[in-house]
Structure 1
Amino acid sequence: MALQNGYSIDSSPLDESGDTTPLLKKEVVDVDDSVPPQCCSARCNLAIMMFFGFSVVYGLRVNLSVAMVAMVNGTKSQPSLNSSGGHECPVSSHGNGSQTPDQPDGIPLYLWDSLTQGLLLGAFFFGYLVTQIPGGYLAGHFGGSIFLGGGVLGTAALSLLTPLAAQLGPYWLFGLRALEGFGEGVTFPAMMAMWARWAPPLERSRLMTLSGSGANFGAFVALPLTGFICHSLGWPAVFYMFGGAGCIWAVFWFILVSDQPGTHPRISTREKDYIINSIGKGNAFLSALPYLGGWAFSVISGVVADSLLEKELLSVTAVRKIFTITGLLLPAAFLVAVGYSGCSGVLAVTFLTLSSTAGGTSAAGVFINQIDIAPRYAGVLLGITNTFGTIPGVVAPIITGYLTKDQSLAGWRSVFCLSAGISAVGAFIFTLFGSGEVQKWALVEVDQEQAETKRDRFIPT
């Protein structure tokens, strides 16, 4: 039988010379049996569909932060200039004492204080926390397409009810946002479960970063677009338009996408065989500008990471650590710079943009590390890690509100320095304990002995 032109996860413990074999092994090729191109392939189309799906759900996630300004009567509970700490930076001459933008006639405004607004903005993450782990587990067992598509569809459909929930009261809106988080919480674990079946080893980084980068791109588009819609049509139109876009995307998703190559009705035999053979049948179960920079760098980092692995210049562990350190320490440094940028809005936006841009490189590091160490359980692992990663979304508004209660520069400096410190600690821990090796507990019993022979297959890290 002709072998594929590319790489596969080697299943034999020793080569003819008795040396250990690499994880990614170049195989003998036939001229007529080369690796199918990525352009217009089923796996590439899947990545693009995921890209737009995450663009939609992240738009649904962040649009309330902008729409809230239009929903709330800005004359309620404004901070006093004579309060302790005061405003250290001059107020813009364009301000008129009310931060509520003009709304078309008949659009309701609500008298929600700062505490209520903070709770409403954080409500999403209460639901998001709950479904990370079960979402990954269920997606691994029953297929990721139903959970990813259902998560986006559910979030979008609930978003359509936002104006009604706001009219009924903040408790209703809090519950609705929590349910939206509940639905969106399964999407990233489901994505990981699907790529465990779809992504050839040497294309994992670029396929997963392309699909996941839709989150940054969606936020980049949604933030200014939300402001424009609020001003032109009124804030309720934001939730109708974004929710409608999510529902339309879900229709195409369920028509065009399959859980695995073997069940895809339009995939070529050549591509299907390539994906299955390269993954192995045993593993088949298995504010806007900063977001733009993060999206671009996450895509670039995926291509570079795959190139380093393809050329066998570094081990999987080394690649993951390099991109993780870069994606955590550089943003930390820029966050500290934001804290010391004083009253300069230009410097603050510049450093925030650089921080988010540099952070995009971690997409080829710790973000996809779950599929390196345990392909069979990648969805569950992402659910666990994303659960812990979501905790800051719940506590950050509370801590930030406490540290910046006097609206002083020192308070905001503490916020950014604390964020930088957390990022640096994460980089340090991953550097010490991170690995790109398939773990023993992630292998079936018959694979345990083979795993022992694969520990030194690349350049030492």
Structure 2
Amino acid sequence: MATTAEASPTTGKSNYTQDLQMDEKHIPRKVPSFCSVRYGVAYVTQLCNFTLIAHNVIINITMIAMVNGTDHQSQVNGSTERLPIDLSGDLNKAPEKLPAGAPVYNWSPQIQGLIFSAVNYGMVLTPAPSGYLAGRIGAKRVVGAALFGSSFLVLCTPLAAEFGVVYLIITRTVQGISQGSGLGGQFALWEKWGPPHERNRLCTIALSGMTLATFITIFLGGFISQTYGWPFVFYIFGGIGCVCSFLWFVLVYDDPVSHPWISISEKEYIVSSLAQQARPSKQSLPIKAMLKSLPLWSLFLCCFSFQWLITVLIVYIPTYINSLYIVSTRDNGILSAIPFIASWVFGLLGGQVADLLLIKGVRLGTVRKITTLLGNLPSSVLLVALPYLKSSYMATVALLTASCGLAPLTQSGVYINALDIAPRYSSFLFGISRGFAQIAAVLAPIVSGYLLNQDPEFGWRNVFLLLFAINILGLIFYLIFGEADIQDWAKERKLTRL
């Protein structure tokens, strides 16, 4: 199989690399990446992920304006300081007032934590079913419907907030169901569109839309909130989402065979490169064998711990900066967005590095663990150092940028490990792993909000120490038990019936 990583006793090279070399003798020459439909599908999926995550993180920057971000008396840290220079160049310029028409609410840090996490309630339940459903009826229908549903609910968010916190939480919960379906269902595409030796690049291109969305949404969200009012952030990105859902239905197809504009040579290349892989089975899922699989559990737990790290970064960077420094919503958006442009760049580079290591003969399992380690450990260590350097805003932004920049390297590691250990059930397992991750996305804002509300002096230190402990435990478990070989229960002859 092209996705195994067992060492050859004679050459020391992985079977993964050997199989790729053997396959290339029997398949047509690949179409250049910039001219290929498969990379076009990856970029459209990137746009889809951009839209879904933009809808998810909008409230992280608008919350500063929604709870009266100029009132620093109510922040969890009693002492704040003004930046030495305003980002527009004016010394000691006071933050601009928000537009008068934008409503302001009196929400405590604990209530804010509940609102932040609400979107993840639905995302816990939907990735696994949507991944399984996409494997049956196609990712085009599942993801397209999810993208439109999320866009519509984003447009309704300002009205829900006006009705009250309960209505806002309900709206974001249903929105999470749509977003979870979109994120969980899209992985079925790469079973039919991703040649094994290009899968890292295709997946990281698609996943990079998430970090790019965080950067652009927070960056522009601060400007829009400051100029027009925070409701317009939801209206603008909701409208963009409606357009993107139309493009998805027009441009994306479930497999190369059904695509009307793909060239014959590229179609033959993709189909031939996937010919030796296990086909999705219509038989029952081997649930008992899955529950006993330590490599699978290590994948799930590492996804959980890594998502805790990502959630704290995405949700709380604007709030953290707002709690330390007196800045306008616009300037907060600029400072909070800087770390995520580094995250986007490193996420793209991570896929290239992973594929290069595989071509050089490094074992697939080793590549997965190296990229996971580099994405987890340094990022969590840097966050633990943050509370001790809060007197310098330049050091704060630098550490946040380094932490966010390194984290996406994990996208080439544990994030796509399900394709290695069980390609037959990868859509379902991607959904399960996303579901585990979303449990962390639900708990992290709630627990962090509680810690910030209970301990104003050391709240942030406690948040980051807890993050570090959870992240390290998940990482250690994956480094010990993680694998990249196809598991026996994922092979046709070993299929377990219930």
TM-score band, normalised by the shorter chain?
Answer: 0.7 to 0.9
Q: Secondary structure at the match of 1:87?
A: coil
Contact 2:150 / 2:179 at 8 angstroms: preserved in 1? Answer: yes
Offset from partner CA, 1:63-119 (integer Å, 9 cap, x none): 112112223346889438xxxx97355466999xxx996343433333444433332
2:414 is aligned with 1:366 = yes
Q: Secondary structure at the match of 2:34?
A: coil
Question: Which residue does the alignment assign to 2:461?
Answer: 413
Q: Contact (CA 8 Å) 1:74, 1:100: kept in 2 or not? A: no
Partner of 2:430: 382
Any idea what the Cα deviations from partners look like across 1:118-140, whole Å, max 9, x if unmatched?
32222101111111211111112
1:442-453 alignment, distance < 5 Å: 442-445=490-493
Match of 1:252 in 2: 247
CA separation of 1:28/1:238 partners in 2, compared to 1, >3 Å: closer, same or farther?
closer
State how far apart, in whole Å, the 2-side matches of 1:434 and 1:284 are: 23
CA spacing shift, 1:61–1:257, aligned 2, 3 Å? same
Counterpart in 2 of 1:335? 383
Native 8 Å contact 2:147 2:241 kept in 1: yes
- Say how many residue pairs are matched: 429
Name stretches of at least 5 consecutive residues in structure 2 with no aligned partner. 87-93, 282-335
> 2:354 — aligned with what?
305
Q: Which has the higher contact order (CA 8 A, sep 6+)?
A: 2
What amino acid is the match of 1:443?
A: K
Partner of 2:307: none
CA distance in 1, matches of 2:380, 2:68: 36
* SS in structure 1 of the partner of residue 128 of structure 2: helix
AA in 2 matched with 1:308: L
The Cα of 1:343 is off from its aligned counterpart by 2.5
1:296 aligned residue: 345
For the residues of structure 2 that align with 1:154 and 1:280, how far apart are their CA atoms?
Answer: 35
Q: Structure 1 residues 398, 130: CA separation in 2 closer, same or farther (over 3 Å shift)?
A: same
Shift of residue 32 of structure 1? 11
TM-score by length of 2: 0.79
Once residues 361 and 10 of structure 1 are traced to their aligned partners in structure 2, the CA distance between those partners, rounded to angstroms, is 20
* Greater shift in the superposed pair: 339-348 or 52-61: 339-348
- Give the structure with the higher percent helix: 2
Aligned-residue offset at 1:431: 0.8
Equivalent of 2:271 in 270, 276, 292: 276
Amino acid at match of 1:157: F
Structure-1 residue corresponding to 2:471: 423
1:261 to 256, 261, 270: 256
Work out the percentage of aligned pairs sharing the same amino acid. Answer: 35
Q: Is residue 9 of structure 1 aligned with residue 2 of structure 2? A: yes
SS in 2 for 1:34: coil
Q: Deviations over 1:227-279 (max 9, x none)?
A: 11112222221111101101101111101110011111111111111111111
Tell me the distance in 2 between the aligned counterparts of 1:373 and 1:146. Answer: 27
Instruction: Compute the displacement of 1:195 (Å).
Output: 0.8
Kindly provide the CA deviation profile for residues 153-203 of structure 1, in whole angstroms up to 9, marking residues without a partner as x: 110111111122122222111111111111000222222111111100000
Residue 25 of structure 1: SS of its match in structure 2?
helix
The correspondence of residues 182-201 of structure 1 with structure 2, limited to 5 A, is 182-201=177-196
Shift of 1:420: 1.6
In the alignment, which residue of structure 2 is the partner of 1:218?
213
Q: Which runs of 5+ in 1 are unaligned?
A: 1-7, 449-461
Q: What is the CA RMSD across the aligned residues, in angstroms?
A: 3.1
Q: 1:22 aligns with which of 15, 20, 23?
A: 15
User: Paired residue for 1:326?
Assistant: 374
1:344 aligns with 2:335: no
CA contact (8 A) 1:70 1:100 kept: no
Residue 115 to residue 21, structure 1, CA distance change in 2 (3 Å):
closer
For 1:236, which of 228, 231, 248 is the aligned residue?
231
Deviates more, 1:417-426 or 1:65-74: 65-74
Secondary structure in 2 aligned to 1:266?
Answer: coil
Larger radius of gyration: 1
- Matched to 1:130, the amino acid is L
TM-score (norm 1): 0.85
Mean Cα deviation higher: 109-118 or 152-161: 109-118
